[in-house]
Amino acid sequence: MKRILIIGATSAIAAACARLWAKDGAEFFLVGRNTEKLEQVSNDLKVHGATAVSSYRLDATDIAAHSVMMKNCLTTLKQIDIALIAHGTLPDQKACENDVNLALQELSNNAISVIALLTLLGNQFEIQRHGSLAVISSVAGDRGRPSNYLYGTAKAAVSTFCEGLRARLFKVGVSVTTIKPGFVQTPMTKGLNLPPLLIAQPEKVALSIVKAVQNKTNTLYTPTFWALIMLIIKLLPNFIFKRINL
């Protein structure tokens, strides 16, 4: 039986991953901001076969509250076999350009809070010398595109932090998987003008994440065609890149 911590458990991708793990009788400690949504996810997992589900309300940007959450998690689960960090927001790039405080708030949501949690979890996994840590970053972090470079900056910071943490924890038998989704049909992307052919469903993305965690994959582009798309974007020379709108 796997003991699983999910932070940002009410997100569409996280909930879809949890349903897959629940089928194997996993025990969960779910963390999120919205108590009502946490309860809905909890009930759904019990129906899908979870052995036990506990939930905990946390605003991830409240860094001081992270350690208390971790203590509660370890009291409940005893140890963590899998941890998935899936919380985040999709900022309005133009609004962030015009409001420094908003820009810093979005960086806190998408980078600082994640790095703080990774630091705590990294230390716990190092003590355990066992487990898998998975973090949802984004293809947006691969290059600073004008349409979302605030978000991309946050995700690039998370991806770089994960790379260093992966090398550290590998030496004690712990895997760190950086997940880089492209466009996914979730409430966060609702209303955005996205190319239909490139939009994936959360269930499909979840399947690839669960498999990647099991296989201890270092970096997962999901769907996989995003690896090629981002390779092309990264290889564009600057004299071309800065003239196009991406």
Residue 180 CB: number of other CB atoms within 10 A? 21
R_g of the chain, CA atoms, integer Å? 18
Q: Are strands 219-222 and 132-136 parallel, antiparallel or unpaired?
A: unpaired
221 is catalytic: no
Query: Which residues are 220's β-sheet partners?
Result: 179
Catalytic pick from 56, 149, 151, 221?
Answer: 151
| CA atoms 70, 206, 182, 232: torsion sign | positive
**Residue 160 neighbours by CB under 8 Å, 6+ apart:** none
Euclidean distance between CA atoms 24 and 18, whole angstroms: 10
| CA atoms 44, 15, 202, 175: torsion sign | negative
Euclidean distance between CA atoms 189 and 196, whole angstroms: 12
Please name the helix (run of DSSP H) or strand (run of DSSP E) that holds residue 153, with its range, or none: helix 149-170
Euclidean distance between CA atoms 146 and 67, whole angstroms: 36
Query: Which residues are 134's β-sheet partners?
Result: 84, 177
Would you please indicate which residues are annotated as catalytic (active-site) residues?
Answer: 151
